[in-house]
Chains A and B, each alone.
Chain A
Amino acid sequence: NAGVTQTPKFRVLKTGQSMTLLCAQDMNHEYMYWYRQDPGMGLRLIHYSVGEGTTAKGEVPDGYNVSRLKKQNFLLGLESAAPSQTSVYFCASSRGLAQETQYFGPGTRLLVL
């Protein structure tokens, strides 16, 4: 099993450009999450999904959109990138509320100029 994979690993964007980050998991987990990690701060939840076709806002959702068309995939979109979105983005998945341990992907480093 590959676990949780993320594409791309690194990306540079100009302000105003758009992009989509892809997360895939092969553990048949119901729940998936997108976090951002900034220096000196804990991981902060952007959006999450409790199942195929569902999404919900987390702690810092502004400027991001998500979609969960297939159970194994969770996409994070930036419609108009801003320098404040420079960060490392992590995707995670978990089996569900009864099995709440989250398993993380390797991360995507995003630099917005």
Chain B
Amino acid sequence: EDQVTQSPEALRLQEGESSSLNCSYTVSGLRGLFWYRQDPGKGPEFLFTLYSAGEEKEKERLKATLTKKESFLHITAPKPEDSATYLCAVRAGGFKTIFGAGTRLFVKA
């Protein structure tokens, strides 16, 4: 069964304390892995798309990487404004995008 699991469910960091969020997946025929940021009361905002193992993408303090079984979202020296829920989604075969439940990130000043 196609599945996407994100860990941890919640992560509390001090400002400047780097860490990583994990997205593990089991799908048949990966067609893309997506990372979104979601602020409270708002819709998900697109961050990255990764298509093949070994691919990496960066944006400001965020860096996403992809292997055959998981993706990591690395956050370097986070700031309080990075606090949000980060969603991972996998596009499988057919017309199916599977979303994980998300990781809630809290960054304290």
* Per-position 1/0 for B17-48, Cβ under 8 A of A: 00000000000000110101000011111100
**A42 and B34 form a contact (CB under 8 A):** no
A interface: dominant SS: loop
User: Which residues of A are found within 8 Å of B77, using beta-carbon distances?
Assistant: none
Q: Which residues of B come within 8 Å of A, CB atoms?
A: 4, 31-32, 34, 36, 41-46, 49, 87, 89, 91, 95-102
In-complex Cβ contact of B49 among A45, A59, A100 (8 A): A100
- Interface status of A2 (Cβ within 8 A of chain B): no
A-B contact pairs, 28 of them (CB 8 A): A4-B43, A41-B101, A42-B4, A42-B87, A42-B89, A42-B98, A42-B100, A42-B102, A43-B89, A43-B99, A45-B97, A48-B95, A50-B95, A56-B95, A59-B96, A90-B44, A100-B49, A100-B91, A101-B49, A102-B46, A102-B97, A103-B46, A104-B43, A104-B44, A105-B43, A106-B42, A106-B43, A107-B42
User: Which residues of A are found within 8 Å of B98, using beta-carbon distances?
Assistant: 42
**B101 and A42 form a contact (CB under 8 A):** yes
Report the minimal beta-carbon distance from A90 to chain B, rounded to whole angstroms. 5
User: Which residues of B are found within 8 Å of A41, using beta-carbon distances?
Assistant: 101
User: Which residues of B are found within 8 Å of A104, using beta-carbon distances?
Assistant: 36, 43-45
B interface: dominant SS: strand
List the 4 closest A-B pairs by CB distance, nearest first. Answer: A42-B99, A104-B43, A43-B99, A104-B44
Report the minimal beta-carbon distance from A24 to chain B, rounded to whole angstroms. 14
**A90 and B101 form a contact (CB under 8 A):** no
Assembly CA distance A104 to B89 (angstroms):
13
**B95 and A101 form a contact (CB under 8 A):** no
